[in-house]
Amino acid sequence: MHIRTEVIERHTLAVTVANEPGILARIAGMFAGRGSNIESLTVAEVTEDETVSRITIVTQTSPAMLEQIIAQLDRLPPVHRVHDLTAEGPHVERELALVKVKGTGDHRIEALRLAEVYRARVVDATISSFVFEVTGGTEKVDKFLELMREVGLIEVARTGVAAIARGHKVD
């Protein structure tokens, strides 16, 4: 008996869409209907007249499933363009997280030291806690959170991935 396993890959998609009600739900539903999970999802208007939005989606799926997802996205009327930034070449990804940490005694000093190493900014401080703002790649944010758990992580809010192709290429 020969068992074939599919390779699962992480991909970042940039989808430009007409800014109309329900499009985000349709896209998210399409992923769910295909059994693919969305790890990160960000949406923002990208034109001055607010008629076009850009949806950045990070997903892990097989190449065959990704091909089907992209083809199905391309068929949705409100979708203008789909870019697989991962497949198209070099791109920049960043994420922002707000991280609330206990800050008393030695833990306070350690939290500040770690924040300095990770270039996290203190955006709020009380006698018993800090809120740090950390930006960077997903791996950097994940590592910062892992270290803050040891110090006294209380709460996390993450933006999700924002990504753009490198170089002069225009959408």
Tell me, what's the pLDDT at 55?
A: 96
Give the predicted TM-score (pTM) of the model: 0.85
pLDDT band at residue 148 using 50, 70 and 90 as cut-offs: very high
Span between the terminal Cα atoms of the chain, in Å: 47
Tell me, what's the pLDDT at 171?
A: 57
Q: How far is CA 5 from CA 2, 33, 70, in A?
A: 10, 21, 22
Q: What are phi and psi of 4, to 5 degrees?
A: -100, 130
Residue 15 near residue 42, CB atoms below 8 Å: no
